[in-house]
Amino acid sequence: MTYTNFKLDVDADGIALVTWDMPDRSMNVFTEEVMKELDTIVDRVTKDDAVKGAVITSGKDTFSGGADLTMLKRMFQLFHDEKARDQKKAVELLFENTGKMGGLFRKLETSGKPWVSAINGTCMGGAFEMSLACHGRVVSDDPAVKMGLPEVKVGIFPGAGGTQRVPRLTNQQDALQMMTTGSSLTASRAKAMGLVHEVVPAKKLVESAKKMIKAGLKPVQPWDEKGFKLPGGPIYSAAGANLWPAATAILRRETYGNYPGAASILKSVYEGLLVPFDTALKIEQRYFTKILQTTEAGMMIRSLFVSLQELNKGARRPADIKPTRLKKIGVVGAGFMGASIAYVTAKAGIPVVLLDQSVEAAEKGKAHSADLITKEMQRGKATAEEKDVLLGLITASADYADLDGADLVIEAVFEDREVKRVVTEKAEAVLKPAAIYASNTSTLPITGLAKASSRPKNFIGIHFFSPVDKMMLVEVILGKKTSDKALAVALDFVRAIKKTPIVVNDTRGFYVNRCVLRYMSESYNMLIEGVPPAMIENAARMAGMPVGPLALGDETAIDLAQKIMKAAVVDLGEKAVDPRHIELVNTLVDKYDRRGRKNGKGFYDYPAKPAKKHLWPELKTLFPQQDADKIDVEVLKQRFLFTIALEAARVMEEGIVTDPREADVGSILAFGFAPYTGGTLSYIDGMGAAKFVEIAKGLQRKYGAQFRTPKLLLEMAEKGETFYDRFNPYSVEGKKEAA
């Protein structure tokens, strides 16, 4: 019999080599078809007396990325379709479907024939769960090999036996740590944890796996043997009593109860370890069925898996333009941003000319790359050879003639229209006519800057976030005249440097900064109302924001906030900024010289290490303080998420962002908008526009106009629409509405 996704060869010793190699896919994943074929293979190995055992490996560089989450998407669809008819039956159907993968692995494990997984490359999620169900696991010593159960990162958890097998192979603490963080393991770490049996040279992988079977590997898992004892001791033991109260407390500290998927890992492990294995699998399946029905899982899978991948693969790229092979990039301005942009470009293997006013300034910018890669080397993540190659790709220069031949130039000079105008003209004088010119401006509209260009069609915004080497998002900004070709080149560049792009129309603050300013502005309101500063910071983190708004204000600099406010007043008039906010930043900057982290004084104090930063004690004295016990922390949390989500809705209404996937993914990647919500718009969709509008109206009455609902939301509430209905990124109509 032949298979589409596997090859099966039985050798002279009667050992079947099952090679997983899906056609037309760069990576193996579990699909319904793969599961069906594997099921047939397990049957065949089990029934054929001539077959003594089986080794499963991959025919690709990596082993497998795990389950194809689009399969989950289909499962959701079936569930929702059935739910409309019969709620109880829908849940039963979901329960049945979620058990399929786990059932298959259990069948393999209890087949009576020994199975060994030969892990030749990255092995994640469902694939690692399958490997854990094998009786033996051999891993290649290639440093690129990683294993793990990352499901928690998309709001779910390992639901095909992972939560039961891992803590039966290693101690519970390590098991919980690995699964609740979703972190991946190196081969040696997995071996030390007892999750794999052998780490061998890549060339000897299959041979070693076969050897295990020939040496008489028992086709029975430890937990199916009589008298099995948990490696970390039972739940009800001194060790268990030490671990479990702390584990729940740590989870609470890390997640504030916002991630039901993570909490279910603890519940599955705790309850599962108290009962026999097959019952334990049922417990896991029940929790998994429950988690799949949560809003959090639905939203996180959509934004952090499906949409993220689609954007990375160029969902917004004009399809009719041929991909660009970028052979040379210019970066003008070798300061804070330009130096880092040059680094990420060279890291992607693209030659880059880094230009500043003097060769010294350009060299200083290049030295930043040397610093960054040296740090990588110290962490064992880069070699001396890679450093040489990287630095060899960066040419520091003060001569515009060196930009000749560049396919794309990114300007990152001072935030000053006149300076930018001169630079645009000088660069265009040497650039080939087809070259694309991009500005990294954070505040100046692209259409205005493009006036300095003799070819505004080729002019675009490529807005990076700091620190450039860590931040995964890039905003690509379209000026009025920007062509599809310029967009395609910009997106090809973003893809080459392995970042995620969102495409945004031209406006003051674009998308990300408009939202971030709302976040900070609401914290100013709270300060002025007399909410204790620590409560402001804690409420924001409890709402799911990674960094409190005051801490964020310090990172981005309070004097920058002051500059932005002043500029807004000049450009848009007095009403553009709340005068109390101007007074607050003026007091901090002008009276107390508190500019933020950069001068060691902001909303926080920054004492010398090892002391930790702490809120500036005097901050409390600026405004009469309310009694913390009388403040509803739930309302504070809501105010933060609402003020940002409302701004995102306005941005959609104005047509600045046109695709809800970009608003959602952008908000999580750029400023960590409560990831469990799936992003700014999914937060609204998750509770429904009607409920959102009702709450926003209440907040507006109590706290002010920042909570005013845009017309778009009122209309959506009336029609019962979601953003993904109205601006459906997959339908022609949705695209039209956005345009």
Which positions lie near ligand NAD, rule CB under 6 A?
332-338, 355-357, 361, 412-415, 419, 422-423, 440-442, 464, 466
Rounded Cα distance, 418 and 423, in Å? 9
Residue 280 CB, nearest approach to ligand NAD (Å): 50
The first and second tokens of residue 182, run together, are 């979703």
The C-alpha angle with vertex 155 and arms to 154 and 159, in degrees rounded to 5, equals: 95
Residue 503 CB, nearest approach to ligand NAD (Å): 17
Nearer to ligand NAD, 5 or 556 (CB): 556
First to last CA, the chain: 52
Rounded Cα distance, 635 and 637, in Å? 5
Backbone angles phi, psi at 308, to 5 degrees: -55, -45
Rounded Cα distance, 691 and 699, in Å? 12
Nearer to ligand NAD, 123 or 589 (CB): 589
Partnered with residue 9 across adjacent β-strands are 17
The first and second tokens of residue 131, run together, are 């490997």
Nearer to ligand NAD, 67 or 341 (CB): 341
Residue 695 CB, nearest approach to ligand NAD (Å): 33
Residue 454 CB, nearest approach to ligand NAD (Å): 18
Rounded Cα distance, 535 and 196, in Å? 46
CA distance readout (Å), 49 to 10, 43, 725: 12, 12, 55
The first and second tokens of residue 550, run together, are 């005051």
Nearer to ligand NAD, 200 or 337 (CB): 337
Rounded Cα distance, 663 and 681, in Å? 7
Residue 450 CB, nearest approach to ligand NAD (Å): 15
Nearer to ligand NAD, 173 or 443 (CB): 443
Looking at residue 587, the DSSP 8-state letter turns out to be I
Beginning with the edge strand found earlier in the chain, give each strand of the sheet holding 352-355 in spatial order.
394-397, 352-355, 329-332, 408-411, 436-439, 459-463, 473-478, 500-505
Residue with tokens 């706290």: 703
Residue 239 CB, nearest approach to ligand NAD (Å): 48
Nearer to ligand NAD, 40 or 466 (CB): 466
Nearer to ligand NAD, 468 or 649 (CB): 468
Residue 332 CB, nearest approach to ligand NAD (Å): 5
Residue 449 CB, nearest approach to ligand NAD (Å): 10
The first and second tokens of residue 215, run together, are 């040496």
Nearer to ligand NAD, 119 or 468 (CB): 468
Residue 410 CB, nearest approach to ligand NAD (Å): 9
Nearer to ligand NAD, 439 or 706 (CB): 439
Nearer to ligand NAD, 48 or 360 (CB): 360
User: What's 296-345 look like in SS3?
Assistant: HHHHHHHHHHHHHHHHHCCCCCCCCCCCCCCCCEEEECCCHHHHHHHHHH
CB 90 within 8 A of CB 22: no
Residue 385 CB, nearest approach to ligand NAD (Å): 29
Rounded Cα distance, 620 and 624, in Å? 8
